Amino acid sequence: MGWAVCAGVAEDPDLELAAAVDPSHAGEEVGGLTVAADLDALGEGGVEVAVDFTRPDAVVDNVRFLLESGIHAVVGTTGIGPEEQELIRGWAEGGSANAIVAPNFSVGAVLSQQLAEQAAPHFPAAEVIELHHDQKLDAPSGTAAATARRIAAARGEAWKGPGDESVPGVRGGEVDGVRVHSIRLPGLVAHQEIIFGGRGQTLSIRHDSTDRSSFIPGVLLAVKTVATRPGLTVGLEPLLGL
3-state SS record for the chain: CHHHHHHHHHHCCCCCCCCCECHHHCCCEECCEECECCCHHHHHCCCCEEEECCCCCCHHHHHHHHHHCCCEEEECCCCCCHHHHHHHHHHHCCCCCCEEECCCCCHHHHHHHHHHHHHHHHCCEEEEEEEECCCCCCCCCHHHHHHHHHHHHHCCCCCCCCCCCCCCCCCCEEECCEEEEEEECCCCCEEEEEEEEECCEEEEEEEEECCHHHHHHHHHHHHHHHHHCCCEEECCHHHHCC
Q: Averaged over 139-168, what is the pLDDT?
A: 90
Q: Averaged over 151-164, what is the pLDDT?
A: 87
Q: What does the alpha-carbon distance between residue 100 and residue 230 come to, in Å, rounded to a whole number?
A: 10
* 136 has catalytic annotation: yes
* β-bridge pairing 201-209 and 190-198: antiparallel
Residue 20 above 80 pLDDT? yes
Q: Averaged over 213-230, what is the pLDDT?
A: 96
13 — pLDDT class (breaks 50, 70, 90): very high
The pLDDT score that the predictor gives to residue 138 is: 85
Question: Domains, the chain, ranges and CATH?
Answer: 2-101+212-240 (3.40.50.720), 107-209 (3.30.360.10)
**Which of 72, 132, 181, 207 is the catalytic position?**
132
Q: Averaged over 175-187, what is the pLDDT?
A: 96
* 133 has catalytic annotation: no
Task: Encode pLDDT of 77-122 as tens digits.
Answer: 877 888 999 999 999 998 899 999 998 899 999 999 999 999 999 9
**Interior/surface letters 167-185, b for 16+ CB within 10 angstroms, e for the rest:** eeeeebebbebbbbbbeee
Q: What is the mean pLDDT of the chain?
A: 93
Residue 72 above 80 pLDDT? yes
**Which of 72, 122, 133, 136 is the catalytic position?**
136
How many Å separate Cα 209 from the centre of its chain? 13
Q: Averaged over 49-65, what is the pLDDT?
A: 94
Q: What does the alpha-carbon distance between residue 197 and residue 191 come to, in Å, rounded to a whole number?
A: 20
Q: Averaged over 129-139, what is the pLDDT?
A: 92
Residue 156 above 90 pLDDT? no
